[in-house]
Amino acid sequence: MIEIPTKIANLRLKNPTILASGIMDEDAGSMIRIFKSGAGAIVTKSIGLKPREGYPNPSVIELECGLLNAMGLPNPGIEEFKSEVIKLKKSKVTVIGSIFGSNSKEFTVLGTKMQDAGVNALELNMSCPHAKGYGLEIGSDQKIVEKITTNVKSSVSIPVFVKISPNLTDIPKIAQSAEKGGADAIVAINTVKAMKIDIETQRPILSNKIGGYSGKAIKPIGIRCVYEIYKKVNIPIIGVGGINTGEDAIEYMMAGASAVQIGSAIYSRDIYVFEKICKEIKNWMKTNNYKKIDELIGVANL
């Protein structure tokens, strides 16, 4: 197991690679496997107050340079999911509970329940590009983002991260609202709004028509967002979007990220991608005479 000690707020990780929300993180078994195979922490699937079926298939398709999904936030609801968190804690997994809601009260109730179940930190998903009434609809409003963050922060004692969307005109402003509300870190980015049309049937392929694009193609977008946010906030940023290699992770760090999340690369590489990326980061640092990842954070951001 590769150790690259990393600290985000008061959350200590054995390395800076974290499993992104929504990929192989619905049940404790797969999350334990991924943690044991080298991830520094795991973010759970986004969980709401009540069970949700999500959208009918097709809900995920593979495109040339990534995945297009409109899952519709399927999840078992917090009461059912608590038992998965308890299993994760028994296996000593560092776990970040992702939650979504339609208003501040829902986020606060969910945050408290996740904390009681034992998560190490919370990630507030205010950036889903395709679930009506959730995600972007609240995450694009500065006042709402600040209010939700303030209320969750005052109800829990664990670190609170806010995950924001690339589908906004002024991304740093939303990050600043989260910071004003007391967020301990910003997570950027969620998927990029996109569509695929089948030219034979002449219809969008996804049942929801519009989805979110992830994987290699979105890395330059994520890098730009992290770069812009880094200039405007004083809290750590966790970079996510299209990371497949150690070099990709280093690029995010140079833009301003203190840690990274990895999702789609599990499909293009495999579940050992965390260990591989850590090895690639270490090798690059050794070749280039860096001792700590702190020395890389934001260096491209003059």
Ligand X SMILES: Cc1cc2nc3c(=O)[nH]c(=O)nc-3n(C[C@H](O)[C@H](O)[C@H](O)COP(=O)(O)O)c2cc1C
Judged by beta carbon, residue 79 or residue 295, the one nearer ligand X is 79
The residue type of 173 is K
Tally the C-alpha atoms within 13 A of residue 23's C-alpha that lie toward its C-beta: 25
Minimum CB distance to ligand X smaller for 117 or for 249? 249
Q: What stretches of 85-208 adopt beta strand conformation (E)?
A: 95-99, 121-125, 160-164, 185-188, 192-194, 197-198, 203-204
Q: Is 45 in the site for ligand X (CB under 6 A)?
A: yes
Cβ distance to ligand X smaller for residue 71 or 257: 71
Supply angle C-alpha 112, 117, 123, rounded to 5. 60
The interface region with ligand X, picked from 85-93, 196-204, 262-270, 289-297 by CB under 6 A, is 262-270
Query: Residue 102 CB: number of other CB atoms within 10 A?
Result: 16
67 touches ligand X by CB under 6 A = yes
Tell me if residue 128 is catalytic: yes
User: Shortest approach of ligand X to residue 238 CB, angstroms?
Assistant: 10
Q: Give the range of 63-71, 138-146, 164-172, 277-285 binding ligand X by CB under 6 A.
A: 63-71
Choosing from 48, 111, 211, 215, the residue that interacts with ligand X (CB under 6 A) is 215
Both tokens assigned to 42? 């795991």
CA distances (Å), 209 to each of 52, 71, 136, 197, in order? 19, 11, 17, 9
Among 39, 136, 174, 243, binds ligand X (CB under 6 A): 243
* Burial of 287 (C-beta count, 10 Å sphere; 0-12/13-18/19+): exposed
User: Binding of ligand X at residue 242 (CB under 6 A)?
Assistant: yes
Number of residues that bind ligand X (CB under 6 A): 27
Inter-residue contact 39 to 94 (CB < 8 Å): no
Ranges within 134-193 binding ligand X (CB under 6 A) = 163, 190-191
**Contact call for residue 277 and ligand X (CB under 6 A):** no
Q: Which of 6, 94, 108, 125 binds ligand X (CB under 6 A)?
A: 125
Contact present, 151 and 104 (Cβ < 8 Å)? yes
78 touches ligand X by CB under 6 A: no
Looking at 34, 250, 262, 296, which residue binds ligand X (CB under 6 A)?
Answer: 262
* 292 contacts 282 by C-beta, under 8 angstroms: no
| Residues composing the chain | 302
Does 98 help bind ligand X (rule: CB under 6 A)? yes
Containing 68, the helix (H) or strand (E) segment is strand 66-69
Q: Angle of helix 171-180 relative to helix 219-232, nearest 10 degrees?
A: 50
Closer to ligand X by Cβ: residue 165 or 176? 165
Q: Name the closest residue to ligand X (Cβ).
A: 22
Question: Residues 16 to 35: which contact ligand X by CB under 6 A?
Answer: 20-23
C-alpha pair distances (Å), 290 with each of 9, 248, 250, 251, 297: 23, 16, 12, 14, 11
Rg (CA), the chain: 18
Q: Report the nearest approach of ligand X to the CB of residue 93 (Å).
A: 17
| Residue 69 engages ligand X in binding (rule: CB under 6 A) | yes
Sites of contact with ligand X (CB under 6 A): 20-23, 45-46, 60, 67, 69, 71, 73, 98, 125, 163, 190-191, 214-215, 218, 240-243, 262-265
Query: Which residues are identified as catalytic?
Result: 128
